[in-house]
Amino acid sequence: MKILITGIAGFIGSNLGERLISEGHTIIGIDNFDPFYDRKIKEKNIASLCQTSKFSFYEADIRDKSFLNSIFASERPEIIIHLAAKAGVRPSIQNPVDYYDVNVMGTLNILECMKDNGISKMIFASSSSIYGNNRKIPFSEADHVDNPISPYAASKKSCELLCHTYCHLHNFSINCLRFFTVYGPRQRPDLAINKFTKAILNDDIIPFYGDGTTSRDYTHISDIIQGVSSSINHLNGYAIFNLGESKTITLTNLILLLEKFIEKKANLNYLPLQAGDVEITFADISKAKTELDYYPKISMETGLQDYVSWFKNQS
Protein backbone atom coordinates (compact mmCIF):
# COMPACT_ATOMS: atom_id res chain seq x y z
CA MET A 1 0.00 0.00 0.00
CA LYS A 2 1.17 3.56 -0.73
CA ILE A 3 0.81 5.67 2.41
CA LEU A 4 1.43 9.40 2.86
CA ILE A 5 2.56 10.48 6.34
CA THR A 6 2.56 14.13 7.36
CA GLY A 7 5.02 15.05 10.11
CA ILE A 8 7.28 12.17 9.04
CA ALA A 9 10.44 13.65 10.59
CA GLY A 10 9.01 13.84 14.08
CA PHE A 11 9.18 11.38 16.96
CA ILE A 12 6.10 9.33 16.05
CA GLY A 13 6.29 9.86 12.29
CA SER A 14 9.83 8.56 11.84
CA ASN A 15 9.22 5.49 13.99
CA LEU A 16 5.96 4.81 12.15
CA GLY A 17 7.58 5.19 8.73
CA GLU A 18 10.22 2.60 9.58
CA ARG A 19 7.60 0.18 10.87
CA LEU A 20 5.35 0.50 7.82
CA ILE A 21 8.22 0.07 5.37
CA SER A 22 9.25 -3.08 7.25
CA GLU A 23 5.68 -4.31 6.67
CA GLY A 24 6.07 -3.81 2.92
CA HIS A 25 4.35 -0.45 2.43
CA THR A 26 5.63 2.42 0.30
CA ILE A 27 5.86 5.71 2.22
CA ILE A 28 5.62 9.31 1.05
CA GLY A 29 6.77 11.62 3.82
CA ILE A 30 5.98 15.31 4.32
CA ASP A 31 7.55 17.59 6.92
CA ASN A 32 8.27 21.31 7.14
CA PHE A 33 10.98 21.02 9.86
CA ASP A 34 9.10 23.38 12.17
CA PRO A 35 11.67 25.21 14.35
CA PHE A 36 9.94 24.08 17.58
CA TYR A 37 13.10 22.03 18.05
CA ASP A 38 16.39 21.54 16.20
CA ARG A 39 16.10 20.59 12.53
CA LYS A 40 19.18 18.36 12.90
CA ILE A 41 17.25 16.08 15.28
CA LYS A 42 14.52 15.62 12.69
CA GLU A 43 16.99 15.03 9.88
CA LYS A 44 18.62 12.34 11.99
CA ASN A 45 15.19 10.80 12.64
CA ILE A 46 14.60 10.13 8.93
CA ALA A 47 18.19 9.35 7.93
CA SER A 48 17.59 5.61 7.68
CA LEU A 49 14.29 6.13 5.84
CA CYS A 50 16.03 8.21 3.20
CA GLN A 51 18.28 5.28 2.37
CA THR A 52 15.44 3.03 1.19
CA SER A 53 13.84 3.04 -2.26
CA LYS A 54 10.40 2.61 -0.69
CA PHE A 55 10.53 6.13 0.78
CA SER A 56 10.17 9.53 -0.86
CA PHE A 57 10.28 12.84 0.98
CA TYR A 58 8.92 16.32 0.42
CA GLU A 59 9.80 19.32 2.55
CA ALA A 60 6.38 20.92 2.63
CA ASP A 61 4.07 22.88 4.92
CA ILE A 62 0.51 21.61 5.32
CA ARG A 63 -0.67 25.22 5.13
CA ASP A 64 0.49 25.33 1.49
CA LYS A 65 -2.55 23.80 -0.17
CA SER A 66 -1.27 24.23 -3.71
CA PHE A 67 1.92 22.30 -2.99
CA LEU A 68 -0.03 19.64 -1.07
CA ASN A 69 -2.36 19.19 -4.04
CA SER A 70 0.58 18.69 -6.37
CA ILE A 71 2.04 16.01 -4.08
CA PHE A 72 -1.30 14.21 -3.74
CA ALA A 73 -1.88 14.35 -7.50
CA SER A 74 1.57 13.06 -8.47
CA GLU A 75 2.00 10.41 -5.75
CA ARG A 76 -1.60 9.13 -5.55
CA PRO A 77 -1.42 7.72 -2.00
CA GLU A 78 -4.11 5.26 -0.94
CA ILE A 79 -4.26 6.46 2.65
CA ILE A 80 -3.14 9.53 4.62
CA ILE A 81 -1.69 9.33 8.13
CA HIS A 82 -1.87 12.90 9.39
CA LEU A 83 0.56 13.49 12.25
CA ALA A 84 1.79 17.00 11.43
CA ALA A 85 0.82 19.64 14.00
CA LYS A 86 2.19 22.29 16.26
CA ALA A 87 2.64 20.36 19.51
CA GLY A 88 2.66 21.24 23.18
CA VAL A 89 0.06 22.50 25.62
CA ARG A 90 2.03 25.30 27.24
CA PRO A 91 3.38 26.91 24.04
CA SER A 92 -0.14 26.96 22.62
CA ILE A 93 -1.23 29.28 25.42
CA GLN A 94 1.46 31.75 24.39
CA ASN A 95 0.79 31.46 20.65
CA PRO A 96 -2.78 30.28 20.01
CA VAL A 97 -3.08 31.85 16.55
CA ASP A 98 -0.26 29.78 15.07
CA TYR A 99 -1.64 26.62 16.66
CA TYR A 100 -5.00 27.12 15.01
CA ASP A 101 -3.42 28.11 11.71
CA VAL A 102 -1.28 24.97 11.52
CA ASN A 103 -3.44 22.41 13.29
CA VAL A 104 -6.91 23.37 12.10
CA MET A 105 -6.33 25.08 8.76
CA GLY A 106 -3.58 22.59 7.91
CA THR A 107 -5.93 19.69 8.60
CA LEU A 108 -8.66 21.35 6.52
CA ASN A 109 -6.17 21.60 3.65
CA ILE A 110 -5.39 17.89 3.96
CA LEU A 111 -9.09 17.03 3.85
CA GLU A 112 -9.70 19.27 0.85
CA CYS A 113 -6.74 17.78 -1.02
CA MET A 114 -8.10 14.31 -0.29
CA LYS A 115 -11.46 15.35 -1.74
CA ASP A 116 -9.85 16.92 -4.80
CA ASN A 117 -7.76 13.83 -5.52
CA GLY A 118 -10.22 11.05 -4.78
CA ILE A 119 -8.55 9.85 -1.55
CA SER A 120 -11.03 8.77 1.09
CA LYS A 121 -9.04 7.15 3.92
CA MET A 122 -7.15 8.89 6.73
CA ILE A 123 -5.78 8.28 10.19
CA PHE A 124 -5.65 11.46 12.25
CA ALA A 125 -3.38 11.92 15.26
CA SER A 126 -5.51 13.40 18.03
CA SER A 127 -4.58 13.80 21.69
CA SER A 128 -5.59 12.84 25.21
CA SER A 129 -5.48 16.57 26.03
CA ILE A 130 -8.96 16.75 24.47
CA TYR A 131 -10.40 15.28 27.68
CA GLY A 132 -9.31 18.30 29.76
CA ASN A 133 -9.87 17.81 33.49
CA ASN A 134 -12.43 15.08 32.93
CA ARG A 135 -13.68 13.88 36.35
CA LYS A 136 -14.62 10.43 35.08
CA ILE A 137 -11.69 8.04 34.81
CA PRO A 138 -10.52 6.21 32.88
CA PHE A 139 -11.31 8.40 29.86
CA SER A 140 -13.64 6.82 27.32
CA GLU A 141 -14.21 7.76 23.69
CA ALA A 142 -17.90 8.14 24.63
CA ASP A 143 -17.15 10.91 27.16
CA HIS A 144 -18.12 14.50 26.40
CA VAL A 145 -15.04 16.51 25.45
CA ASP A 146 -16.45 20.00 25.30
CA ASN A 147 -14.19 21.52 27.97
CA PRO A 148 -10.59 21.71 26.68
CA ILE A 149 -8.25 23.79 28.85
CA SER A 150 -5.61 24.77 26.29
CA PRO A 151 -5.65 26.06 22.70
CA TYR A 152 -3.73 22.92 21.66
CA ALA A 153 -6.49 20.69 23.03
CA ALA A 154 -9.17 22.87 21.46
CA SER A 155 -7.42 22.70 18.09
CA LYS A 156 -7.35 18.89 18.21
CA LYS A 157 -11.05 18.78 19.08
CA SER A 158 -11.71 21.12 16.14
CA CYS A 159 -9.81 18.76 13.84
CA GLU A 160 -11.86 15.78 15.03
CA LEU A 161 -15.02 17.70 14.17
CA LEU A 162 -13.68 18.51 10.70
CA CYS A 163 -12.89 14.84 10.17
CA HIS A 164 -16.44 13.89 11.16
CA THR A 165 -17.85 16.50 8.78
CA TYR A 166 -15.87 15.20 5.80
CA CYS A 167 -16.85 11.62 6.58
CA HIS A 168 -20.49 12.73 6.52
CA LEU A 169 -20.27 14.90 3.40
CA HIS A 170 -17.84 12.94 1.27
CA ASN A 171 -18.07 9.35 2.52
CA PHE A 172 -14.53 9.38 3.93
CA SER A 173 -13.31 6.79 6.41
CA ILE A 174 -11.24 8.39 9.18
CA ASN A 175 -9.91 7.04 12.47
CA CYS A 176 -9.06 9.71 15.04
CA LEU A 177 -6.49 8.22 17.41
CA ARG A 178 -6.17 9.94 20.79
CA PHE A 179 -2.56 9.39 21.84
CA PHE A 180 -1.78 9.32 25.55
CA THR A 181 1.66 10.83 26.40
CA VAL A 182 3.94 8.93 24.05
CA TYR A 183 7.55 8.29 25.10
CA GLY A 184 10.53 6.28 23.92
CA PRO A 185 13.49 6.64 21.54
CA ARG A 186 13.47 9.95 19.60
CA GLN A 187 11.02 11.57 22.03
CA ARG A 188 10.75 15.32 21.50
CA PRO A 189 13.25 17.28 23.61
CA ASP A 190 10.51 19.44 25.15
CA LEU A 191 8.72 16.48 26.76
CA ALA A 192 9.08 15.57 30.43
CA ILE A 193 10.93 12.25 30.25
CA ASN A 194 13.51 13.65 27.85
CA LYS A 195 14.00 16.84 29.87
CA PHE A 196 14.16 15.02 33.20
CA THR A 197 16.64 12.43 31.96
CA LYS A 198 18.94 15.10 30.54
CA ALA A 199 18.71 17.24 33.69
CA ILE A 200 19.48 14.38 36.08
CA LEU A 201 22.46 13.24 34.02
CA ASN A 202 23.82 16.82 33.88
CA ASP A 203 23.04 17.66 37.55
CA ASP A 204 20.72 20.43 36.37
CA ILE A 205 17.70 21.67 38.34
CA ILE A 206 14.32 20.28 37.26
CA PRO A 207 11.27 22.60 37.45
CA PHE A 208 8.77 20.47 39.39
CA TYR A 209 5.23 21.78 38.90
CA GLY A 210 2.62 21.03 41.56
CA ASP A 211 2.80 18.65 44.51
CA GLY A 212 3.81 15.59 42.48
CA THR A 213 0.37 13.96 42.41
CA THR A 214 -0.45 14.83 38.81
CA SER A 215 -0.61 11.58 36.85
CA ARG A 216 -0.08 10.59 33.25
CA ASP A 217 -0.88 7.54 31.18
CA TYR A 218 2.51 7.15 29.49
CA THR A 219 2.50 4.98 26.37
CA HIS A 220 5.60 3.50 24.78
CA ILE A 221 6.23 4.43 21.14
CA SER A 222 6.26 0.78 20.04
CA ASP A 223 2.75 0.29 21.41
CA ILE A 224 1.49 3.45 19.72
CA ILE A 225 3.01 2.34 16.41
CA GLN A 226 1.33 -1.06 16.73
CA GLY A 227 -2.01 0.69 17.26
CA VAL A 228 -1.58 2.99 14.27
CA SER A 229 -0.48 0.11 12.04
CA SER A 230 -3.49 -1.96 13.07
CA SER A 231 -5.79 1.00 12.50
CA ILE A 232 -4.91 1.01 8.80
CA ASN A 233 -6.86 -2.21 8.35
CA HIS A 234 -9.89 -0.98 10.31
CA LEU A 235 -11.09 2.09 8.45
CA ASN A 236 -14.86 2.13 8.12
CA GLY A 237 -16.57 5.48 8.42
CA TYR A 238 -15.73 7.80 11.32
CA ALA A 239 -14.27 6.40 14.55
CA ILE A 240 -12.34 7.56 17.60
CA PHE A 241 -9.92 5.34 19.53
CA ASN A 242 -7.86 5.88 22.66
CA LEU A 243 -4.30 4.60 22.35
CA GLY A 244 -2.76 4.52 25.83
CA GLU A 245 -1.14 2.20 28.32
CA SER A 246 -4.27 2.22 30.51
CA LYS A 247 -2.13 2.74 33.61
CA THR A 248 -1.01 5.91 35.34
CA ILE A 249 2.10 7.09 37.15
CA THR A 250 2.43 10.19 39.31
CA LEU A 251 5.05 12.81 38.62
CA THR A 252 6.79 11.92 41.89
CA ASN A 253 6.99 8.23 40.99
CA LEU A 254 8.21 9.04 37.49
CA ILE A 255 11.13 10.97 38.97
CA LEU A 256 11.88 8.13 41.39
CA LEU A 257 12.03 5.60 38.55
CA LEU A 258 14.35 7.81 36.52
CA GLU A 259 16.61 8.26 39.54
CA LYS A 260 16.71 4.48 39.91
CA PHE A 261 17.69 3.78 36.30
CA ILE A 262 20.09 6.73 35.97
CA GLU A 263 21.52 6.01 39.44
CA LYS A 264 21.55 9.69 40.39
CA LYS A 265 19.29 11.95 42.46
CA ALA A 266 17.26 14.68 40.82
CA ASN A 267 17.56 18.33 41.87
CA LEU A 268 14.00 19.63 42.07
CA ASN A 269 12.71 23.18 42.13
CA TYR A 270 9.11 23.07 43.39
CA LEU A 271 6.77 25.42 41.52
CA PRO A 272 2.99 25.98 41.25
CA LEU A 273 1.01 23.93 38.74
CA GLN A 274 1.02 25.57 35.31
CA ALA A 275 -2.03 26.81 33.44
CA GLY A 276 -3.26 24.32 30.84
CA ASP A 277 -1.83 21.25 32.57
CA VAL A 278 -4.42 18.59 33.28
CA GLU A 279 -4.43 16.74 36.59
CA ILE A 280 -4.58 13.22 35.16
CA THR A 281 -4.72 11.32 31.89
CA PHE A 282 -5.96 7.74 31.97
CA ALA A 283 -7.12 5.81 28.89
CA ASP A 284 -9.95 3.34 28.68
CA ILE A 285 -8.62 1.20 25.79
CA SER A 286 -11.37 -1.42 25.73
CA LYS A 287 -12.66 -0.16 22.36
CA ALA A 288 -9.18 -0.28 20.79
CA LYS A 289 -8.64 -3.77 22.20
CA THR A 290 -11.90 -5.04 20.72
CA GLU A 291 -11.82 -3.31 17.35
CA LEU A 292 -8.08 -2.80 16.65
CA ASP A 293 -6.62 -5.74 18.55
CA TYR A 294 -4.55 -3.16 20.43
CA TYR A 295 -2.75 -4.59 23.44
CA PRO A 296 0.12 -2.46 24.83
CA LYS A 297 3.05 -4.60 25.93
CA ILE A 298 5.76 -2.29 27.31
CA SER A 299 5.58 -1.58 31.06
CA MET A 300 6.66 1.81 32.39
CA GLU A 301 9.63 0.24 34.14
CA THR A 302 10.88 -1.54 31.02
CA GLY A 303 10.20 1.44 28.77
CA LEU A 304 11.99 3.92 31.03
CA GLN A 305 14.99 1.67 31.53
CA ASP A 306 15.32 1.20 27.77
CA TYR A 307 14.86 4.93 27.20
CA VAL A 308 17.63 5.86 29.62
CA SER A 309 19.99 3.42 27.87
CA TRP A 310 19.04 4.86 24.47
CA PHE A 311 19.48 8.44 25.71
CA LYS A 312 22.96 7.76 27.08
CA ASN A 313 23.99 6.27 23.73
CA GLN A 314 23.02 9.49 21.96
CA SER A 315 25.56 11.55 23.88
**Catalytic hit among 100, 152, 166, 294:** 152
- Catalytic residue check, 152: yes
What type of residue sits at position 108? L
CA nearest to 64, candidates 97, 26, 30, 14: 30
Q: Is residue 11 a contact partner of residue 31, using CB atoms and an 8 Å limit?
A: no
Beta carbons within 8 Å of 84's beta carbon, 6+ residues apart: 6, 7, 10, 13, 30, 31, 32, 62, 102, 106
DSSP string across 265-309: --EEEEEPPPTT--SB--B--HHHHHHH-------HHHHHHHHHH
DSSP string across 233-252: T---SEEEEEES-S--EEHH
CA nearest to 62, candidates 135, 13, 131, 26: 13
- 234 alpha carbon, distance to own chain's centre: 19
The SS3 call for residue 166 is helix
At residue 311, φ and ψ (nearest 5 deg) are: -60, -45
- Active-site amino acid positions: 152
